[in-house]
Amino acid sequence: MTTLDSNILDALAERLETCQLEAKDTEKITNDHPDMDWDDAYAIQERILKRKLGRGRRLAGLKAGLTSFAKMKQMDVESPVFGFMTDDYIVPDGGECDTRSLIHPKVEPEIAFVTRKSLSGPGCHIGTVLEATDFVIPGIEVIDSRYRDFKFDLKSVIADNTSASRFVIGGTPTRLDGLDLRTVGIVMEKNGEPVSFGAGAAVLGHPATAIAMLANHLGARGQAIPAGTLILSGGITEAVPVQAGDNVTLRVQGMGSTSLRFV
Ligand code: OOG
Ligand code: MG
């Protein structure tokens, strides 16, 4: 049950989406609404999605965030969050990302899943996810909190669609048969220098756990993850700030690489 009035939820969605569209920051919304609850936060996020779909945008994927201890520690929060990406967030592999449309972008190395069967909760677990996965592929998420100095609490960041702003996937779509995602290594490079290192297990012990948590989260709302959905499973390491001129490449063991350039 939401606690905020429907007009207030609409106004907060408009405020946050306008910040995104105009690349301007704002104070975290819990400053004005300290008693808002989780349902309010997700209701605001859902209204942002409705605004975009109403303008003809298409859903491009779903995401889990704050799924690694490195990320939770970096952002000083303690549990995963879920969000969405629309088609205008897609950067082609090797393509450009215009920093003028962003506030203070950071990049995260992630493993993206694509499902071949629908996943629903409650009761979804890593086994269900592995069985329903078509392939995994390297992905770099560009996050860009609409909150001043990237400072927020969990409810504020959920309402702000978990800072989602752009993403790129590329490399080799890889089947899970015989692949242990826990020990798959990753290296992210900025301008040719390695800046982040990690392995799949950094994400909740196994990145598929993040997908199961998303299915269970949606299940509690009467929704499911459809077959053919792209899902970002969450940053393996801390996010790294970027600016115009930066080139970022993510290499994932056995899965090739994906990259983008900031202009
Ligand atoms: C929230 C989004 C975090 C991830 O992969 O952990 C996220 C943030 O840190 O701004 O996308
Ligand atoms: Mg992320």
Report pLDDT for 78.
Answer: 83
pLDDT digits (tens, 9 = 90+) for 53-69: 999 999 999 999 999 99
3-state secondary structure of 27: coil
Q: Where are the domains of the chain?
A: 58-262
pLDDT of residue 205: 97
Ligand 1: residues with CB < 6 A are 65-67, 71, 75, 108, 141, 143, 145, 157, 162-163, 234-235, 239
The structural architecture, per CATH, of the domain 58-262 is Alpha-Beta Complex (3.90)
Q: What percentage of residues in the chain have a pLDDT greater than 70?
A: 100
pLDDT along the chain (263 residues), means of 10: 95 98 98 96 98 98 96 89 98 98 98 98 98 98 98 96 98 97 98 98 97 97 98 97 98 98 98
For 42-53, the pLDDT digits (tens) are 999 999 999 999
Among 20, 147, 163, 250, name the best residue to mutate to test ligand 1's pocket (greatest count of ligand atoms within 8 A of Cβ): 163
Residue closest via CA to ligand 1's atom 1 equals 162
Q: What's the 6 CA to ligand 2 centre distance in angstroms?
A: 29
How far apart CA 206 and CA 193 sit, in angstroms, is 27
Here the tokens at position 118 are: 């629908």
Mean pLDDT of the chain: 97
Please list, in sequence order, all residues whose beta carbon lies within 8 angstroms of the beta carbon of residue 124, skipping any fewer than 6 positions away. 212, 215, 216, 219
d(C-alpha 194, C-alpha 249), whole Å: 9
Q: Report how far ligand 2's centroid is from the alpha carbon of 83 (Å).
A: 9
**Residues β-bridged to residue 247:** 261
